[in-house]
Amino acid sequence: MVELETTQGVKTLHKIFLEDVYSIPGGEKIRLCQQCGTCSGSCPTAYLMDYSPREVIAAFRAGMLDRVLKSNTIWLCTSCYSCTVRCPAGIKVTDIMYELKRLAIKYKSWPSSSKNPAMSKIFIDHVHRFGRSYEAGVIGQFVLTQKPSLAWKFKGLGTKLFLSGRMPLLPKSIKGKDEFHKIIDLLATKEVSQ
Amino acid sequence: MADEKIAVYFCDCGTNIAGKVDVDEVVKWAAEQPNVTVAREYKYMCSDPGQDLIKTDIKELGVTRVVVAACSPTMHEPTFRKAAADGGLNPFLLQMANVREHCSWVTEDPVEATEKAKRILSAQIHRLPFNEALQPIEVPVNPDVMVVGAGIAGIEAALKLADAGKKVFVVERDPSIGGHMAMFDKTFPTLDCSACILTPKMSALGKHPNITLMAYSEVTEVSGYVGNFKVKVRKKARYVDTDKCTGCAACTEACVVQKVKSEFDVGLGYRPAIYIPFPQAVPLKATIDPAKCLTLSKGKCAKQSCVSACGPGAIDFGQQDEQVELDVGAIIMATGFELFDCEREARYGYGRLANVITSLEFERLSNASGPTGGHIVMKNGEAPKSVAILHCVGSRDENYQEFCSRVCCMYSLKFAHLIKEHLPETEVYELYIDMRAYGKGYEEFYKRLMDEGVHFIRGRAAEVSDVALAPEEEGRLVVKAEDTLLGIMRRLPVDMVILSAGLSPRRDAKEVAQTFGFGCSANGFYLERHPKLEPASTMTDGVFLAGACQYPKDIPDAVAQAGAAAAGALTFVNNPTVKVEPTISYIDPEKCSGCHICVGLCPHAAIQFNAEKEVAEVIEAACKGCGVCVAACGSNVPQQRGYLDKQIFAEIEGALAL
């Protein structure tokens, strides 16, 4: 198990991850998981996942972080919240998937084939820059940096979206971007101090 | 008062108290307090040698007041009071100082704990000189017992008491006794016929000379006091003279309204507006449903064919509800359970998808006396080729009921067996989280079902849908679930889905409990006095619990608890009198101004107004010593014995004296 120097001393990565997940509201409820599989059975993308949401929780509790971070599961979550609504133990499965995504990015550990972390990162960068999503920029940067062949594949859809005014070429910023940045910066320092 | 000789006993309780409190220091300190003659430490005061210390000191040192610093008075106050009485001292001249629950168990720092122990002890030392010798009040006990609810638990308890020679009143809400057990087909794990083992007991109850059966009746009010309950029962009008009715059922065949959904068949079958719920009903009397009978609901029925069909002329449209008053000494509650409302779990499609049925509906479907004559069929009349049984519907789920309903695993196995027995070619899938086969012969039954070829899938069903994604799913139900042992998602195309619904408390459980003066647990079932040692008693003396009204139970457990409740009630009413704590209120007639405030506030109707003397008076046997009148009186007239103002103030002064 990887050991890390933290402000509270040397801890295993597993312990840090557990503490992190427990710190989100309701996060400690993963202790109550009875492995019934309601989350997986309710998940619309479970059939694409190498480990089901239930298995991710089991692996995470067992300290098998490699399984959790190298699986495509957390990146295929579509945030439909079916699992969260139905979980008999009240586990906020979707929120935990988000937390695991954050941790995976923080420790730069994800399946080598997956482009989802790059997509998440580009999306967040754009939101940070303009205060809102800028689709043409996001998709442009993603295609150019990750997989240029996609440009050919999606040219038809892209043209349609552009012509119907759904994907303007130039970015639009929100009002009060400075205040928005202050909020984000404050949140970032909070996260660091945690 | 200054001449009182107080003896102080400080219990170590092993290390429970001595592990935290410096007992030597406290005892040394106590010996120097005013009025204290002797202060002793002992390892276990509740042991025989510990109690002997109290007796000997009373006799040899002439001790007149005793304080035992030990555990909570709810544990051992009776023990020490008895020791004091054996030594020749009035037991009410003894006080407990709780230095365990209130001190050593809840204080972290030993120095603070020692200081707190002194204060708790000081309060009692200051109080004791004001204690008075009190004599317990004895009230006679009515030997008759009432049983509320006549499912298997109520029937069993009533029969036991009646066989022991007690007069028993059985009050049942429905037209017939029998409860849920009368609706079942087979019982797990022995598979004996439910009706065959229940109906002899029902019949015995109906005929027992010591039992007065009041079916189709409800308790509306309970008053009185321990050993002497006054119960008001409303006998609902059946619109049939039960003395004349022979139970021949000619009226039910003649009735023009034949299509009323039958409660007994949980809506799967029909009954007429005048009906006998099932052939073995006890009492075997017809009942008219006033909401469906044309004469009673619309004012006219062209034929009134029931009247002409009834030979003895028992139909009486003018019948009214009747109020009956009963005097009983003890009460057994056996009001049972309700099935979890499956429509709340919308994702399983109950009420929307035709062939999704509840467990109780399946019981009727597989029952030879049920609406299909025991044929397991879908809504279209065809036999299902595959059936999925979904466990834990409404149970073990914090969105609905957090508890395990205990019986569902086993009845689900029984269903699988019945399907295999009726339709050997049909595939049966059990979708479970954990298989709970904890009872005698239950694990063996589980093994038997594995052997019979039932498919067990470990995984809770996520949803039931009628949307087909593959040719084999067309026109069928699809159960979606993760097979957690294989780690794969499954879509099971089936023809019928049975929801193994959990057991819920009766929806009026809270109001009923209030009527009888006890409470409900957080999960809504009746609260027992002690979860382990007194599961069949309530907090109200003389009121007992039997069956699933306390917590979900299968038949053997319900019967066992009914026996325990009957034994409890029997012990209680077999004593000619019951001792009531004398710590009750009294009102000095010289001081009472007759303002009436206490009369209306007393929750036990224990204060009556004497119009002649124009003062309030306490009915001693009814007073429960709650102290409401003491607090409410503007002139401080009512005083509670054992809790007099001067005693309370002395106690406070003592606690603050250090």
All structural domains of chain A, each given as residue ranges with its CATH number in brackets, are 3-106 (1.10.1060.10), 116-193 (no CATH)
Look up the CATH number of the domain holding residue B371: 3.50.50.60
Question: CA B618, CA A68: separation in Å to the nearest integer?
Answer: 72
The CB-side HSE value for B357 (13 A sphere, CA atoms) comes to 24
DSSP string, B71-122: S-HHHHHHHHHHHHHHTTS-GGGEEEEE-IIIIITT---HHHHHHHHHHHHH
Q: Do B462 and B386 share a structural domain?
A: yes
Q: How far apart are CA B214 and CA B196, in angstroms?
A: 23
- Whether residue A104 has pLDDT greater than 80: yes
Selection from B385, B382, B384, B444 nearest residue B413 by Cα: B444
pLDDT category at A110 given cuts 50, 70, 90 is confident
For residue B224, what are its two tokens? 């009185």
pLDDT range class, residue A3, cuts 50, 70, 90: low
Report which secondary-structure segment, H or E, holds A42.
helix A38-42
Query: Shortest CB distance from A55 goes to which of B458, B460, B487?
Result: B487
Q: Which of A34, A41, A47 sits opposite B481 (nearest CB)?
A: A41
**8-state DSSP, B491:** E
User: Is A34 within 8 Å of B396 when comparing Cβ atoms?
Assistant: yes
The C-alpha atoms of residue B450 and residue B443 are separated, in whole angstroms, by 11
- For residue B72, being part of any structural domain is answered with yes
Picking from B170, B123, B129, B162, the residue whose alpha carbon sits closest to that of residue B146 is B170
- Structure tokens, A155: 């040219």
Q: What Å distances lie between residue B403 and A39, A105, B395, CA to CA?
A: 20, 39, 6
Retrieve residue B247's tokens. Answer: 């139970």
Backbone angles phi, psi at B105, to 5 degrees: -75, -20
**Whether A52 and B482 lie within 8 Å, measured CB to CB:** yes
Peptide bond into B283 cis (omega under 30): yes
SS3 of B246-293: the string is CCCCHHHHHCCCCCEECCCCCCCCEECCEECCCCCCCCCCCEECCCCC
Amino acid at B581: E
Nearest to A41 among B398, B399, B462 (CB): B462
User: Could you tell me the two tokens for A125?
Assistant: 């960068």
Give the model's pLDDT for residue A121. Answer: 85
Q: Are residues B398 and B473 in the same domain?
A: yes
Would you place residue A151 in the very low, low, confident or very high pLDDT band (cuts 50, 70, 90)? confident
Beta strands in B172-216 (DSSP E): 186-187, 192-193, 211-214
> Taking 50 as the threshold, does the pLDDT of residue A77 lie above it?
yes
* pLDDT over 50 at A193, yes or no: no
**Chain A residues with beta carbon closer than 8 angstroms to that of B347:** 86
| CA nearest to B403 within chain A | A88
pLDDT at position A194: 45
pTM confidence score: 0.85
* Closest Cα in chain A to B480: A41
Same domain for B327 and B182, yes or no, is: yes
- CA-to-CA distance for B4 and B539, rounded, in angstroms? 37
Identify the domain containing residue B16 by its residue range: 6-134
B490 and B359, same domain (yes or no): yes
* Nearest CB neighbour to B459, from listed A41, A43, A55: A41
Distance between first and last Cα of chain B:
21
CA of B547 to nearest chain A CA: how many angstroms apart? 27
Residue B514 shares a structural domain with residue B389: no
Helix (H, G, I), strand (E, B) or coil at B514: helix
Which DSSP state fits B28?
Answer: H
User: What are the residue ranges in chain B where pLDDT is below 50?
Assistant: none
Between A104 and A44, the more confident residue is: A44
> Could you give the 3-state DSSP secondary structure of residue B332?
strand
Check residue B35 and give left, alpha or beta (phi > 0: left; psi -120 to 50: alpha): left
Tell me which amino acid residue B608 is: Q
Domain assignment present for residue B647? The answer is no
* B260 in the same domain as B169: no
Residues B97 and B181 in one domain: no
Inside any domain, residue B209: yes
Helix/strand/coil (H/E/C) assignment for every residue in A71-117: CCHHHHCCCCCHHHHHCCCCCCHHHHHHHHHHHHHHCCCCCCCCCHH
Last residue of a domain, one of B470, B486, B504: B504
Mean pLDDT lowest among A33-47, A161-175, B333-347: A161-175
CA distance B265 to B419: 19
Give me A191's structure tokens.
């996260």
Contact residues, B window 428-467, toward A, CB-based 8 Å cutoff: 433-434, 458-463
Rg (CA), chain B: 31
Please indicate, yes or no, if residue B579 is contained in any of the structural domains: no
Does residue B108 contact residue B101 with C-beta atoms inside 8 Å?
A: no
Predicted confidence at residue B619, as pLDDT, reads 87
Same domain, B216 and B164: yes
CA distance B25 to B118: 9
Residue B222 lies inside a defined structural domain of this protein: yes
Instruction: Please report the sign of the dihedral spanned by the C-alpha atoms of residue B172, residue B178, residue B183, residue B189.
Output: positive
Distance of alpha carbon A29 from alpha carbon B75, whole angstroms: 36
Are residues B101 and B72 in contact, defined by beta-carbon separation less than 8 angstroms?
A: yes
Answer yes or no: do B104 and B200 share one domain: no
| One domain for residues B329 and B353 | no
Distance CA B395, CA A60 (A): 26
Say if residue B189 is preceded by a cis peptide, omega within 30 of 0.
Answer: yes
Which CA distances in Å does A65 have to A23, A26, A32, A84, B544?
A: 18, 21, 19, 22, 54
Handedness of CA B59, B64, B69, B73 (dihedral sign): positive
Instruction: Find where tokens 């036999």 sit.
Output: B383
Q: How would DSSP label each residue in A1-26?
A: --EEEETTEEEEHHHHHHHHHHHSTT
From the list A34, A54, A89, the residue facing B482 with the nearest CB is A54
Kindly determine whether residue B489 and residue A36, on different chains, have CB atoms separated by under 8 Å. no
Kindly state whether residue B469 falls inside one of the protein's structural domains.
yes
B470 touches chain A (CB under 8 A): no
Which helix (H) or strand (E) element contains residue B422? helix B408-422
Q: What is the pLDDT of residue A9?
A: 59
E-only strand ranges, B441-582: 455-458, 461-465, 477-483, 488-494, 496-501, 503-505, 543-545, 577-580
b/e burial code for range B242-253 (CB count within 10 A of at least 16 → b): beebeebbebbe
Alpha carbon of A174 to those of A129, A161, A165, A179, A188: distances in Å? 10, 22, 18, 11, 20
Q: What is the DSSP string of B131-147?
A: ------EEEE----EEE
Chain A residues whose CB is inside 8 A of the B482 CB are 37-38, 40-41, 46, 52, 54
Residues of A in contact with B463 (CB under 8 A): 41-42
DSSP H or E run through B443? helix B442-451
Report how many domains make up chain B. Answer: 5
The alpha-carbon gap from B548 to the nearest alpha carbon of chain A, in Å, equals 24
Q: To probe the interface with A, which of B436, B460, B464, B480 has the most A CB atoms within 10 Å? A: B460
Which residue, chain included where needed, has tokens 């298989």? Answer: B435
- How far away is chain B from the Cα of A139, in angstroms, using its nearest Cα? 32
Residues facing residue B492 across a β-bridge? B479
Share in percent of chain B as helix, strand, coil (round to 5): 30, 25, 45
**Alpha-carbon gap, residue B413 to A27, rounded angstroms:** 36
Residue B578 vs residue A106, higher pLDDT: B578
Q: Is residue B580 part of a domain?
A: no
> Are the C-beta atoms of residues B624 and B655 closer than 8 Å to each other?
no
User: Can you name the residues that pair with B464 across neighbouring β-strands?
Assistant: B479
| Most confident stretch, A102-116, A163-177, B194-208 | B194-208
- Tell whether the torsion through CA atoms of B14, B16, B17 and B21 is positive or negative: positive
What's the pLDDT tens digit per position in B175-226? 999 999 999 999 999 999 999 999 999 999 999 999 999 999 999 999 888 8
- Least confident window among A11-15, A31-35, B359-363, B500-504: A11-15
Interface probe with B: pick from A32, A38, A73, A86, most Cβ of B within 10 Å? A38
C-beta separation of B54 from B7 below 8 A: yes
Contact B127, B143 (CB under 8 A): no
Q: Which of B398, B461, B487 sits opposite A52 (nearest CB)?
A: B487
Q: Which residues of A touch B484 (CB under 8 A)?
A: 35-37, 40, 54
Q: Is it the case that residue A2 has pLDDT exceeding 60?
A: no
CA distance A50 to chain B (A): 10
**What is the reported pLDDT for A185?**
86
Which residues are paired to A10 by β-bridges? A5
pLDDT band, residue A113 (cuts 50/70/90): confident
Q: For position B306, what pLDDT does the model report?
A: 95
Residues 6+ apart with CB under 8 A from B447: none
Are residues B383 and B442 located together in one domain of the fold?
A: yes
Answer yes or no: is pLDDT of A1 > 70. Answer: no
Q: Are B155 and B299 found together in one domain?
A: no
Asked if the C-beta of B483 comes within 8 angstroms of chain A's C-beta atoms, the answer is yes
Q: What is the pLDDT of residue A6?
A: 58
Tokens of A31: 């202790």
What residues have CB less than 8 Å from B522, skipping those under 6 apart?
none
Average pLDDT over residues A150-163: 87
Predicted pLDDT at B2: 58
Tell me whether residue B284 is in a domain: yes
- CB contact set of B200 (below 8 Å; sequence gap of 6+): none
The confidence score (pLDDT) of residue A8 equals 56
